[in-house]
Structure 1
Amino acid sequence: MEIRQLKYFVTSAELLNFTEAADRCFVTQGTLSQQIKQLENELDILLFDRIGKRVRLTAAGKLFLPYARQTILQSESAKLILSDFKELKTGTICVGVSYALTSYLTKGIAKFSRSYPQIHIEIILETSEVLLKLLDSGKVDFILSYSDIVDERQFEYNLLFQSSLSFVTNRNHSLSQKKQVIFSQLKNEPLALPTKGFNTRRYLDKLYEKENITPKIGLEVNDIATLLEIVKTGLWSTILSTSALMENTNDLIYIPIKEKGKLHNAYIIWAKSIYRKKAAILLAESIN
């Protein structure tokens, strides 16, 4: 059993198409099909049902898939352990960050890169929900995200800070002179909110359910900068973590929502099953 065979199997299982899997793996379809057949022969069991040009996982294939993924991750971790014995002169770090924490990440990257200019850094901006999936699959080294603690057996959560929520609105709004508001005051406000993939949105939905409030949501946007521009029109207001409002707020008022329990936690999150590169640890320390 070879790592490349496992990679071919996992890619084929994800795409359920040998032609597309071969393209993604940069091999011919014949090579990919042959390697998967050799893997099945070694395991003495079919992993795929071939139905014409279509393929689907057998029950054995579904059972084998998570173990194949884990073996590939462990193989990559072993390579990283050895490469970390070398000085930090080369290498790549991939960091996932939710939209609201980009400014926070930028400061840490600048500090890190002054000390380790040779390290290549890749940044993926996504919703918290997508970032956790990328972390679990080993496609990012760590993520910065507002989050609820999902599974401490699977992930390690290092608290960065706690942020209050703020009501963000146009300067001409009737509440614009308030120093603070409470959540129940906003139940009749027309709102533009982040889409449901954002952790801030999930957090707000839970608060609305707890308070037995049906919000008046007129618009949903998957980009914070665009959301703030929409609020500037005066047609809608929004609710965001205060730390997301460091930019693009010149024409807006943001009013803290001051109530017990209305704090939002930002974390650096690691996958416990994946090796932590020295460079990634140093970058995380720079962000802290």
Structure 2
Amino acid sequence: MAPNFGRAISFPLTPARSFSKPRHVRSVSLPGTTSSHPLVANLHAHIATLRAWIQDTAAAASSLPAGLANIHALHAALADLLHLPASGAALRCTTSNAGNHLLDAFLLLADAHQGFQECLLELRHAAAESRAALRRGDAGRLASASRSQRRAEKDLVRLAASVSAVSTKCSRLNLVAGAEEAEMAGALVEAAAVSAAASAAVFSAASSMSSPASTCKKIAMFIPAFATKKAAVPETAEAAVERLHALERCFDECDSACDMVFRSVVQTRVALLNIMTPTI
């Protein structure tokens, strides 16, 4: 009996310490777990970066291009993750409706970013018109530019509210899939929620930047100084013109970044549609 017993002990080729902790070795070496996949870790890293940007109110108010770049980078990481078979399995899971919620969320995000592009174009034009009116002493032209500016700012506030609602809805999703599917779906839903929250911060920052720089009431007082060629308040008047010019440059820098974000959101939704639509 002793030789047989010895063979039974020595049959596994794993080290003795592995035999003492079979569950630990099995959980670490199990293939296909989402927690160990580098693409999931990469997505979480971009989520953390975007959350940090949102928390930094100073950055949100002064660095729109950086915020847009972070959103675009998040969607690039999301696109990589959506190519994994595990993503499709998690989104098609019958016990979770995450796929349909994400489709709705990214449709609203795409519409919002398209509207954001239009608002930025209008704000940039209003700033240019205000600057020209200020230099020429044209109060009527300044008032018209100010009205356009206020309309765009109201649209930005509305867009920020709509995407904030998307973020809240995604954050409240109750995923009831299996452990592996829930982890993958949770990462995708979290990415959508953070993308929406960051988009709301970008829209609000653009509105807050525009208002003090080009409000008609604040810069109309400088028109006489330019119109009459008097130097009563030259530095202040020139500062108003420079603020408007800086606003134009900022919005101009955001133009290409806005287009990249819009396209990445659309591509994300197309990838989701391909996953959720059965192959015929």
TM-score class normalised by the smaller sequence: under 0.3
Between Structure 1 and Structure 2, the one with more strand by share is 1
- Larger Rg belongs to: 2
Q: Greater helix percent: which structure?
A: 2
TM normalised by structure 1 equals 0.21
Relative to the length of structure 2, the TM-score reads 0.21
